[in-house]
Amino acid sequence: MPKPIIDADACIACGACVDACPVGVLEVEEVAVAVNEDDCIGCGACVDACPVGAIEIED
């Protein structure tokens, strides 16, 4: 199943991806966003929502 890979150096922890995730697997942490990969459905909504392009989907 595809899963999001978050570039912690590029992530600005704005929360846009968290709001866009339909299953709530993303969470804003101190410096970046973390993902619960086991529950991710690989839809890519987080990729589209990220304003700095810090998320990619990996198969």
Buried b / exposed e along 1-40 (16+ C-beta atoms within 10 A): eebbebeeeebeeeebbbebbeeebbeeeeeebebeeeeb
CATH number for the domain including 40? 3.30.70.20
Domain that holds residue 8: 3-58
Q: What pLDDT is attached to residue 14?
A: 95
In contact, 50 and 4? CB cutoff 8 Å: no
Q: What pLDDT is attached to residue 39?
A: 92
Q: How many domains does the chain have?
A: 1
How does pLDDT run along the chain (59 residues), one tens digit per residue?
A: 788 999 999 999 999 999 999 999 999 998 899 999 889 999 999 999 999 999 999 88
